[in-house]
Amino acid sequence: MAVTRQTKTVSSQAMRESAMRVSLRDVALSVASSFADRLAARVAERESQIVLGLDPDPQRLWAPAVEVPSGERSPAARTAQAVLAHCRAVIAAAGPACVAVKPQLACFERLGAPGIAALVEVIAAAREAGLIVIADGKRGDVPVSAAAYAQALAGVTESPAGEIAGLGVDGFTANPLLGIDSLEPLIATGAGVFVLVRTSNPGAADLQDLELAGGGALWEQIARIVAELGTPRSCGLADVGAVFGATVPAHLERARELMPHAIFLLPGVGAQGGRVEELAPAFAAGRASALVSASRSIVEAGERRGGEDVEAAARAEAERLRELAWSLR
């Protein structure tokens, strides 16, 4: 899909400028320390284990965001501009209570080239707010394709014209069902890799809870792989972590036993029924050993409170979750 002049407001020039806005502090930290060490330091600094999920739905953006001039731009370009304004507003409102953001890549990719350009700007806004960036794309493929995903997310691509930078995120989610060799190129980036172990959706039980012939559930075998691939850093935690649904807290003690050094990314709080109060076993390895991800529960807090100021409501909900999670240990 070609990028036309209609996307000037979210253009390739904006993408280059956004990439350049990554702070020198973040560059220095990424060179000097591992993902796990950087995350642990940021958790301690911000006293937060909350990850702000950014899953922008073009039909449910905050009202000020949709008030963008229509002009002569394409629907994709106008929508991407509104999504960008929405995400910036959400980061400004809720970001101070969070340690990271987790943009859902599909929500930007469905808008075509303007959506990708908006994603780059959102990443820059998160970095400027001092937040770790975890891309939620659940990538997984044969090694040669996994290497391309690795370059796109957290590496560079060599070309006759020179190096082409990827998104430059700090971490991302990954699908392990193609096996260990599909994860190795992703891990080689040095970014945080959060492997799907036991997810929060109801259908997860169809596969992940199946008993293996050798004993134990499929998710337990994936957990063993995560533990094998992750090397503890100075903080005692590994760069290879686990996505583990907050909707199945009964499994957390066993999960921590199998993955003593993994950082758990815990989606499913709020809209999917997960409760922060039930997640204490995930934090057994330290305050930075688990991250509570919340998206709709924060972004739609104003709607649930009868149309209350959306920014104030999001800020209050993020702070409520921060205090609750911090109290677990």
**Tally of helices (H runs) and strands (E runs) in the chain:** 14, 10
Q: What is the DSSP string of 92-127?
A: HHHGGG-SEEEEBHHHHHTT-HHHHHHHHHHHHHHH
| Beta pairing, strands 156-157 & 164-165 | antiparallel
- φ and ψ of 128, to 5 deg: -65, -25
How far apart are alpha carbons 140 and 149 in whole angstroms? 8
Asked if 193 and 243 touch (Cβ cutoff 8 Å), the reply is no
Give the separation between CA 12 and CA 22, rounded to whole angstroms: 16
42's tokens? 């940021």
What is the chain's length?
329
> Encoding tokens for residue 305?
């409170």
Cβ-contact 267, 243 below 8 angstroms: yes
Q: Which two tokens stand for residue 138?
A: 């659940």
Q: What are residue 202's DSSP bridge partners?
A: none
Tell which phi-psi region holds residue 166, choosing left (phi > 0), alpha (psi between -120 and 50) or beta.
beta
- Which residues are identified as catalytic? 138
